[in-house]
A and B are shown apart, each in its own frame.
Chain A
């Protein structure tokens, strides 16, 4: 129970600072569930992230799969609620205050000021995923190719993921 509460609490804290999306706090999820508490392996961590891309809906829901892998249904509840409760509360407050514009001085300071910090965190997330599959030249090349396709075309990411799965089976990574 204390373990469950600690997991929930950690995700609640991360959910409260996930300005710019949940992928910004991924490195700290990894630090908590993999490095510090060994609830899942590094490989399982990136596996569930990749697997969750195949589901519809918001990408952030991969934390549900992470919680499920870590501590079953209770774990899934802890990680999912931890992320969604702050988002719900803050969005309801913004709605109730009739906040319609994101250009008040404080809102602008958050948006513009925190953007580089959030991007640094996002880059750390991508780096973390890359490292988790081992230092393989094929893995780096595949990631670079996906990056190029995502930036240069409007192809549905799902097709790129499918291509990645095939490349993986073919032994590229």
Chain B
């Protein structure tokens, strides 16, 4: 039953996922781990994602730690993380250096303004499709609205807003069970 892989194999596998993940890593996690290598089943993948959603931090990163741990213990978890992040971090550092050097160029300023507008649209699209899955009841939507107003409009510290809202938000679904 304990199915293990070497740290090296875990590292290489996640390095492929990290380097391929242009425009979203989730697709590649599923394609490489479920379809190609068959380390996990589709069901386990979905369960891992659901679990990753309640753990703070990047969802796909949490899934990476958990899969790495499962196939190689703590060593496997760090091998997976190292693989996943290595190439992206190198690319980011290069982008950062280029930005530092050329950000004053008008053409780059304009390009970045356009990219920011698109990035905002993509982020909002993600939020809107997730919000469409919320129950059509007043309570969840009032929590959403309060969270938006507190942090987005009034610009209060997020930790306070979260501390104020989350007990009620969690209690409201607890009662419904």
Chain A interfacial positions (CB closer than 8 Å to B)? 13-23, 25, 27-28, 31, 35, 44, 46-62, 64-65, 68-69, 76, 80, 83-84, 86-88, 90-92, 94-96, 99-102, 105, 107-130, 132-133, 138-140, 142-147, 149-151, 156-158, 160-161, 163-169, 171-173
Contacts and interface: CB of A to CB of B under 8 A. Distances in A.
Interface stretch (B4-12, B16-24, B30-38): B16-24
Q: What 7 pairs between A and B have smallest CB-CB spacing? A: A168-B114, A87-B57, A57-B88, A120-B147, A124-B152, A146-B121, A164-B118
B23 A168 contact: no
Interface of B: 18-25, 47, 50-62, 65-66, 69-70, 74, 77, 81, 84-85, 87-89, 91-93, 95-96, 99-100, 103, 107, 110-131, 134, 140-141, 143-153, 155, 157-159, 162, 165-166, 169-174, 177
29 contacts: A44-B103, A47-B116, A48-B96, A57-B18, A69-B100, A87-B65, A90-B55, A95-B65, A99-B51, A105-B177, A107-B51, A109-B171, A109-B174, A110-B170, A111-B50, A113-B173, A117-B143, A119-B144, A121-B148, A122-B126, A126-B120, A147-B124, A150-B126, A158-B22, A165-B111, A168-B110, A168-B114, A168-B117, A173-B117
Contacts of A83: 57-58
Contact of B61 (A56, A60, A69, A95): A60
B61 A116 contact: no
Contacts of A157: 23-24, 122
Contact of B110 (A14, A68, A109, A169): A169
Nearest to B169: A113
A156 B23 contact: yes
B130 to A, nearest CB: 6
Chain A interface SS verdict (over half): helix
Given A56-B20, A57-B18, A113-B166, A165 B57 contact: no
Secondary structure at the B interface, as helix, strand, loop or mixed, is helix
Given A18-B57, A95-B70, A125 B123 contact: yes
A68 B97 CA distance: 9
Contact of B145 (A52, A109, A120, A143): A120
Given A28-B158, A120-B143, A125-B123, A142 B166 contact: no
Nearest to B119: A50
A22 B58 contact: yes
Contacts of A110: 54, 170
Contacts of A35: 155
Contacts of A19: 53-56
A146 to B, nearest CB: 3
